[in-house]
Amino acid sequence: MTTKKSTGKKTLKKTSKKKPSAASVSKVKRPARAFRTYQQAIRYLLDRTDYERQRKVRYNVTTFSLDRMDKFLKALGNPHKKIKTIHIAGTKGKGSTATMLGKMVEANGYSVGLYTSPHVTTLHERIAVNSEMINKKMMLGLMNRVHPVIEKMLSKDNGPSFFEIMTVLAFMHFVDKEVDLAIIETGLGGRLDSTNVIEPELVGITSISIDHQNLLGPTLDSITKEKAGVIKKGVPVITVSQEPEAMRILKKLACSQKAPLAVTGKDIDFSYRFESSREDGPHTRLCLTTDSSRFEHLRVPLPGEHQAINCGLALAMLDTLKNQGYTFDDQKSISGLSEVKLAGRMEIVSTDPRILVDAAHNAASIRALIGAIGQHVPYDSIIVIFGCNNDKDVRGMLAELQYGADKVIFTRSNSPKAVFPSDLAEMYTELCGKMCQTTLSLKEAIRMASSAVSKEDLICVAGSFYLVGQAKKLFQPEPIK
């Protein structure tokens, strides 16, 4: 449980010294504030190199430098070493797993930090403590603290990137808030990811599939090796059922690091099923049993069978933490789990017309999305508004679209990496032989779709976090304090 720490301050005796005059006080130099406003700080942050938005990125130890990250953190007192952490890697389901685990730990009275990426509508989503996003005042204060270090690094090198700065801000915020546990999601890959400086209590690896091929390699083998780079010596690893080649690599790397590896559904008793009832409607339930935990017919808080797999991983990680000395009550954990909501995942943002958004951004996620919509959302026909980035498995996603979309409108987000709609249409026609429409504007795509649907139809916006974020802002603007 969170306990108040002793300040260690000593009571000072009063002395007869005179108070300094106003004139002398005015001469005292105070540390200069680089940013007086939140807007100035964020503008500076967004001006840093952002590999999430760059069209072409080289994936190497220079671009993604853990050495640079180590120097950055050392100059700030190594905040990542002052908190206990959990590391979550994988291709899809990282944010969902991290959020579900965080909610369960929080419900048991612990203070929990959560660092995830990318965001849907605001970068404040990336850093949260006990489900509360970091606010503008906190962000401004942290940026003023890191600015001198960034400037010093820039004078000698190219300085830290946007993601490196965000990661450091998260660590510092978690230290300031004295969290009991921080759940850290990797950004890209794992081996060279900026978050891979932590020494976690536990590692979770979600489902691994083809993604970021231009950076992580063209095969599942090469991608798995990068994702598995978060495995540390002796640190327990929990994962889900994987493709045989991915599982082979995970086992090999875990063995080389002498890290205990457990798989849900194999080493951990786990099963799930889809069902529908008059009271709860369509939903998925799971069972997970260990020597110290027993969850039977537990309702998964997020729709889709893929979320049952993520939920099973979160529960297995919770059980491992219990065996490491954390105190969890199963009923409190279930209560926390029931409160889980996640922006941009099977989220209805408009009821007239019905518009669902989902940040499915690889072939496996598109397949899961189509299956989940079929199970959970009744509709006559579905129009998919799709746009994605060029560092994704574009052809794989387009091939999956044909099995669920009655009509497709291709558009693009405001990301520099966004593929042009005409290129998507050309590939789609080549792969599927189906007709489609294109527009460069998301607003226009929504107008086109809205004019072609009835009340029983559904519009789905998918393909990238950027596109989903833009769609949410059109219908649900959320100002940050």
Task: Quickly name the fold that domain 347-475 has.
Answer: Protein-Tyrosine Phosphatase; Chain A (3.90.190)
Q: Determine the pLDDT at residue 7.
A: 43
Q: What is the mean pLDDT of residues 239-265?
A: 96
Q: Determine the pLDDT at residue 257.
A: 97
Q: 349-359: per-residue pLDDT in tens?
A: 999 999 999 99
Place of tokens 């081996």: 191
User: What CA–CA distance (Å, rounded) separates 49 from 21?
Assistant: 47
Within a 10 A sphere around the Cβ of 277, how many other Cβ atoms?
8
Q: 30-40: per-residue pLDDT in tens?
A: 456 789 999 99
Nearest to 207 by CA among 60, 286, 312, 347: 312
Domain parsing of the chain, residue ranges: 39-338, 347-475
* CATH for 39-338, options being 3.65.10.10, 3.40.1190.10, 3.40.1350.10, 3.40.50.720: 3.40.1190.10
Q: 12-27: per-residue pLDDT in tens?
A: 333 344 444 444 434 4
Confidence of residue 476 (pLDDT cuts 50, 70, 90): confident
Q: Determine the pLDDT at residue 280.
A: 78
Q: Determine the pLDDT at residue 9.
A: 39
Confidence of residue 404 (pLDDT cuts 50, 70, 90): confident
Q: What is the pTM of this model?
A: 0.87
